[in-house]
Structure 1
Amino acid sequence: MEYCSLFNKSYFQVQVLNRFPNVTTKIDDYFQFTPIALGLGMQALGRRGEHKFLNQIKRLVLAEAFCNGTVTLIKTQTKHLRPDGTTRNSFPSGHTAQAFVAATWLDKEFGKNYPWVRYVGYSMAITTGVCRVLKNRHWATDVVLGAGIGFLSVDLSYRLFDRWEKKRNLIFSPMVGQDTFGLSIVYGF
């Protein structure tokens, strides 16, 4: 019976909160972005990544668009209640998705030449996800899906850019309106 209870998200959450009561850290709010800051800092110090700086930023922006679009779409469609009962936007974890976008981008750009950044970036991403559960803001399932969305968003961005760079038919353009802003991506076939 204990084995089956492990897959019950409410049971798991209760067990976590019993073992780690009253966690109130804010480190998850910072760690979700810190790997990006680390990568930009490495660039500023002359440590080059896999791509030129502008191409790194383009890949990151596209990954962020994929990630944020996916997370927002799923959150608005599923409306899962948070474990603390406050709002219906629990599934998936946006903090964790963002943290894994940042860590995966850092890994893809600098992990080959500086393997230690992989450990730093992914440690921050995992810490972010764990904190979201410990703070009772997300179910473990929210965090797992958030991590997957973040990782896959970067992977998709890099795959598309690699394909587009061969054809040289991709254009990015900012869009600014009275009350809106965005990014236009045009791909010619």
Structure 2
Amino acid sequence: MRKLVLLLFVFNFFFLSFSQQKDSISVDYKKFDFKYKKLYVPSGLILSGIITNGNGRESLKNEIVEERNEHLFGFSNHFDDYAQFAPFVAIYGFEWAGMKPRTDWKNRTAILLKGQIFNLGVVYLLKKTLNQTRPDGTAYSFPSGHTANVFAGATMLSIEYGEQYKWVPYVSYSVATGIGVMRMMNNKHYVSDVLFGAGLGILSMKLAYWTHQYHWNKPKTQNDPFAGIIY
């Protein structure tokens, strides 16, 4: 159990160490700046998920599952099925509560949809293609869709509110990490599934911001009807 707790602590610290990284997009719709360093976290998580799911994975997987079965045998709840959507509710709920987001609701919704189409599309394709067995014996283990979903939401929430409200990334990524942990506690996923899902969720939403053109809700320009007339 100590190994599992240590792993989860490092997992959470990893996100919180980088969650305050400034991802700039201003209210005048300046494009989300692409920087290579913004790929470090999601790429590292995706690579870690692939490595722990590759050669020699069985020993690590079995060790963690054995730890879980020894200390949390019979543990089961459905909280993670609902809590995975909490960041998405907060993306709009925080604005309703008086907090100022970086992007208006129309562009924000377009970004969310684009990010989730890519995110959940990749999850679906990998699950169907690989068809790996979960710790509880059911199908479609890799990657964790719940984790990919909640980390996508946490990333968007942090981008929208994190610059003005420094506590938002800490809360959002802590919630996301908790969901990933709960997927393992519920015996639904291996650590490799969760790591890859977290990286995919973060990368998907950043890609949506990087490629967004902000066509919606642009301020209308007023044309002078007398332009070109000599008085």
TM-score by length of 1: 0.79
Instruction: Say if 1:125 and 1:112 are closer, same or farther in 2 by CA, change over 3 A.
Output: same
Note if contact 1:60-1:154 (Cα within 8 Å) is conserved in structure 2. yes
Instruction: Say if 1:50 and 1:126 are closer, same or farther in 2 by CA, change over 3 A.
Output: same
The structure where strand makes up a greater share of residues is 1
Q: 1:133: which partner in 2? A: 184
The whole-number CA distance in structure 2 between the counterparts of 1:24 and 1:111 is: 33
Shift of 1:20: 2.3
The whole-number CA distance in structure 2 between the counterparts of 1:6 and 1:110 is: 40
The whole-number CA distance in structure 1 between the counterparts of 2:98 and 2:69 is: 44
The whole-number CA distance in structure 2 between the counterparts of 1:7 and 1:55 is: 46
Q: 2:160: which partner in 1? A: 109
Amino acid at match of 1:160: T
Shift of 1:5: 8.9
Shift of 1:30: 1.9
One of 9, 17, 25 as aligned partner of 2:77: 25
The whole-number CA distance in structure 1 between the counterparts of 2:82 and 2:131 is: 25
Amino acid at match of 1:63: G
Shift of 1:6: 9.3
Q: Which stretches in structure 1 are left out of the alignment for 5+ residues?
A: 170-189
Amino acid at match of 1:29: D
- Whose radius of gyration is greater, 1 or 2? 2
TM-score by length of 2: 0.66
In the alignment, is residue 93 of structure 1 matched against residue 160 of structure 2? no
One of 113, 127, 135 as aligned partner of 1:83: 135
One of 202, 207, 210 as aligned partner of 1:151: 202
Shift of 1:79: 0.3
Amino acid at match of 1:84: D
Higher RCO, 1 vs 2 (CA within 8 Å, ≥6 residues apart): 2
One of 125, 137, 153 as aligned partner of 1:73: 125
Show structure 1 runs of 4+ deviating over 3 A: 4-7
For the aligned residue pairs, the C-alpha RMSD in angstroms reads 1.9
Shift of 1:8: 2.1
One of 115, 119, 123 as aligned partner of 2:170: 119
One of 50, 58, 64 as aligned partner of 2:102: 50
Q: Which stretches in structure 2 are left out of the alignment for 5+ residues?
A: 1-55, 217-231
Amino acid at match of 1:144: L
Note if contact 1:82-1:89 (Cα within 8 Å) is conserved in structure 2. yes
One of 68, 87, 102 as aligned partner of 1:35: 87
